[in-house]
Structures are given as C-alpha cells and as structure tokens.
Structure 1
Amino acid sequence: MSNLYGSIEAGGTKFVCAVGNDDLMILDSATFPTDKPEETLQKAIDFFKKFEGTLVSISVGSFGPIDIDNESKTYGFVTTTPKPHWGNFDMIGFLKAQLDLPMFFTTDVNSSAYGEKILDQSLNSLVYFTIGTGIGAGAIQGEDFIGGISHAEMGHMFVKRHPEDLDFAGVCPYHGDCLEGVAAGPSLEARTGVRGEAISLSSTVWDIQAYYIAQAAVSATLTLRPEKIIFGGGVMAQEHMMMRVRTQFSVLLNDYVPVPDLTEYLQVPAIANNASATVGNFALAKREYDKAN
C-alpha cells in the first residue's frame, strides 16, 4: 500500500485535517471548530489514527505567531497569539505524544503559498496573503520560505491611513491600526456595526479596505519582487475586492517599477476555499518524510 501524508490546517476558527496520497490528492478529511487546544488537537489525532500503518508524516500549517526554530526550547509552540487558551501552547509536542511521525511545522499562509507554487510549477517566487479574520502572509523564493529567526508577520506591517479613516483606531490588540487592525474582516464590522457580507457594495468602506490591502501588495512588490501575489481568505473571496485592490495598487505604485499585467500579477488562489493549504501540506509532509528516510 502506498504512503499517505497528513495535513492540518490549524485556523483561528476551524481545523481542517486531511490525508492524501503521493499525487497530493485528498482521500479523506475532517473539519471541526477551533476550541481549547487539548480538545481540538485530540480530534485531529483521532482522525489520523484511522490511518495508522500507512500515514507516514504530517505537515501542520498553523495560525500564529508560532515558533518554527528547530533549535528553540519552544519549537512547535503557538506563542503570543491573542486567541484564548492557545498562548504558549506546545502544539507539536501534544501531537507527537500520540502520533510518532515526522512532522513539518509552519504557518497556515506558508502552507498555502507552497501549495500555490506546487500548483503552478512555472513560479519560482510568490507572496500569499490571507485576508480574513486576521491577516497573514507567506513568501517563497525557490524552495525556501522567506524568514530568518522566525516566520514572516507581514499582516502586522504598518500602513498609511486613508484620509477618510483617520478616526478609526483599528482592531489589532497589539498594534491598533496595523494592516490587520484596519483591513482584516473584523475591521469592517467595527467601523460599520454590520458584518461584511451585509455591507452594501456601494459603501466607501470597501475602497478604504482595498487601499490598505493594495499598500501591502506594493510593499511586497518593492521588498521581494515576486512573480505573483495571491490573496486568499474570506474578504478576498468577494469578487469586487480584487478589482478594487488592483485599482488602488496601480495608483499607489504609479508605474515606479514594472510588474506583469495586474490581472495575472494580483490573483486569487488556484483552488477555492483555501484548499491550496492542504496541497501545500501534503507536499511538505512528503518532503519531511523523504528527508527523514
């Protein structure tokens, strides 16, 4: 029987666990809410135990911040997250206590970025932003994730405030009006008192939000010069948002450096519902198994 590889997409609101084969195809999956860590991870463990004997490795793409330094005493931990109960929790240690398998540990956005690269073999570099309940970003150059002492945290970069948004304090508990504080999904309801899906498309709040997201794309363009920037997450799943971001990006960049046609350069994920994270995790789990053997 062929080897199977496991994927855990550990999101702030839900966990998506899946098992795939050498072709990176999903054979089985399970989704459940992100509750307290012990309860949530036990559900993941119970799912993977059904495949004992053929499951050979797992890749975990987690909400952050997390410790991905193999030499660190807190490697495998979720660290300074504001999510209740998860701060300074040893996620990998808990999993390995019952699943003695090679495991790769990275951010959920890195998993998505790697999946997008797997799906488009022509790409050598890309940046992947998730714009949802929070904002995260992963970047790849060649086969390597961009990062030094830890993973990138581009969701908390600081942005220039929109002139019609100066009185909004932002929703980030750490920085107030960083990118996540002014452009993540909760910022819409904080400004308007209405959830994003109920806000009229004619509302100026959408262009305000697109202004901040476009700034993130300009910053990524100027610092990393990727071949493509991909936007996932619930906010960007609304078709009108990508058009707004491209418009704002064009104005802000002002033709300073050449970029590909914006309909190709600023894109949504190749697979809907963030499934690129699962593909990326399968590939990373396979890579981890091959390295261990």
Structure 2
Amino acid sequence: MYGAIEAGGTKMVLAVGDDKSNIVETTEIKTRSPRETIPEIMDFFGKYDIEGMGIGAFGPVCLDRNSESYGKIGKSPKLEWVGFSWMEAFGKADYPVTIDTDVNAACLGEVKYGNGKGLNNVIYITIGTGIGVGVYAEGNLLHGALHPEAGHILLPVSGRDGFEGICPYHKNCFEGLASGPAIEAHYGKKPQLLLDDMSVWEQEADYIGKALMQYICCYCPERIILGGGVMHIEKLFPMIREKTLSYMNGYVDTKEMQNIESYITPAGLMGQQGIKGALFLASLK
C-alpha cells in the first residue's frame, strides 16, 4: 500500500491506495499550523503498512532531491508553514517520500488516469483560490530551477473600472486578476453569487484566453486541462475556447487546435486528480 497527501492551503486530502492509484481509504483535514496538522496526518497513516509516500504540496517548495532543502516550503502566503520541511516531518519513516507541487501532482493524475492519458505534453491549470500550472513536457513533469509559477504571468488589464489585481507581488498577474479571490475583490461578491452576470464571465474568459495563448506559445501542449473551483462554472469553457482562438489569431495551427473542444478540456477525475497523482508519485522507485 502507498500513502498520498494533497497538501492544499485550505485543506489536506490524505489517502491510501495501491500501485494503480486505486484508493482504499481517504479523508480530509483542515490545513492549520504544522504543529496541529502533522500529528493528524501521522495518525491517519499509522494504521497502514506503507511502502512509499507521495506528497503534492502547496509552495513554493524545493524539489531538488540533491538539496538539503528538498521538501522545504519557501515564501508561502501560509506564514506558519514558511520553512517547514516535509522531509523532516517524515524523517523517521522507513519508506521513501517523493514530493512535488500540488498542481504538478494534479497534472500527473490527469496524464496517467484522466483527460491527458496517453499524451506526452500536457498542461494542467487550476483556477480557484489561487492559480497554478502543472507542466508535463516530453513525458516528464517540468521543474527547472524551482518549478513553474505560471499563474503569475503578467496580463494586460481589461475593462475600464480601475481594477488592478490583488497579487501582493505583481498586481495584474493571472492569479491577481482571475483567481476566485480576485473575482470577489473585483465585483464585491463571491463568484457563486455572480453566476447570472455574463459580463463577469466574459471578463474571466478574456483573462484565461490571454493566459492560454501565452502557454500555447511557450509549451505547445497537446492538451490543456482546466480544473479548480472557478472551472466548475461550465459556461466558461466555450467562451475560453473562443477567446483563445481569437488571441492566437491562427498563429499556431496544429492538428490538436483544430478540434478546440478536445484541446481545452475540463479535468476528468472528478476532483481526484491531485490525490491520484500523489499516489502515483508514491509508487515511483
């Protein structure tokens, strides 16, 4: 059996499963301080004979296995977790621990079991409390010097109402303009209370389309998968596809883009892409 943690800023999903990522037991706990959260995690996994652990963690997080900081949280908005080390937390475990970002784990879950299955070049974007991008390129998750932070690409501000974005680092980055909290800050209501206001979703689709145009030019993926709470609003998908094609303006004309409905798709694992991806990480030798 393998253990998996999808460590989000709001909640943590814990699961035990087999080497095919079939889940035997799962639970959710609230993300509090490490001092409060880690004992709950250990209690859950203590019931099982675990052979490996996979963790998809919010970040920034060090992913360099050769570094003493492997698994350590960097400058996170979750201030209590800054400097926390997943490797130190599991230091006494007698099984290997593999760590990646939460969005990379979700991307991996979709590639292995969901709407990216069989493809070698996929990007997965979660649009919710924040915006993160997992990149699967030439059959491997992309890390680089740290890991992609493509939710923070700068976007031109649309509209004339003076909204500048909410990112404390960049203001008008993708996350600062189009995340769930950005929508609420812009319009003064939570996204679920704005469902009938088409101008909100036209604006949202415009920002997402601008971002996807840049990702297509940078990564040229075979498929783009969109997940996260904001993407539960299904009427966004046709608007996003239309905006993306408009911004591309015919520049990249691949066979994949000729069928835009299958090129830009929703996540395919009913919200389990992150935990299934973490289970797959756990099974890696």
Matched, 1:143 2:139: yes
Count how many residue pairs are aligned between Structure 1 and Structure 2.
280
Matched, 1:32 2:20: no
In 2, Cα distance between equivalents of 1:148 and 1:200: 38
Matched, 1:219 2:214: yes
- What amino acid sits opposite 2:21 in the alignment? L
Alpha carbons 1:11, 1:62 under 8 Å: kept: yes
The more displaced of 221-230 and 34-43 is: 34-43
Match of 2:101 among 97, 107, 121: 107
In 1, Cα distance between equivalents of 2:269 and 2:222: 18
In 2, Cα distance between equivalents of 1:23 and 1:94: 26
In 2, Cα distance between equivalents of 1:92 and 1:218: 37
Cross-structure match for 1:268: 266
Quick one: percent identity of the two aligned structures? 36
Cross-structure match for 2:5: 8
Aligned 1:120-199 pairs, distance under 5 A: 120-164=116-160, 167-199=162-194
Asked which structure has the greater RCO (Cα within 8 Å, sep 6+), the reply is 2
Q: Secondary structure at the match of 1:236?
A: helix
Match of 2:229 among 227, 234, 237: 234
Displacement, 1:39? 1.3
- What amino acid sits opposite 1:267 in the alignment? T
Cross-structure match for 1:51: 48
The more displaced of 214-223 and 140-149 is: 140-149
Q: Secondary structure at the match of 1:231?
A: strand
Alpha carbons 2:55, 2:281 under 8 Å: kept: no
Unaligned 5+ residue runs, structure 1? none
In 1, Cα distance between equivalents of 2:195 and 2:21: 39
Q: Which runs of structure 1 show a deviation greater than 2 angstroms over 4 or more consecutive aligned residues? A: 200-203
Displacement, 1:29? 0.5
- What amino acid sits opposite 1:261 in the alignment? N
* TM-score normalised by the chain length of structure 2: 0.94
Aligned 1:50-89 pairs, distance under 5 A: 50-52=47-49, 55-89=50-84
Displacement, 1:22? 2.4
| Cα distance per residue 1:121-175 (max 9 Å; x no partner) | 421110000001001001112331123111110011111211335x112111221
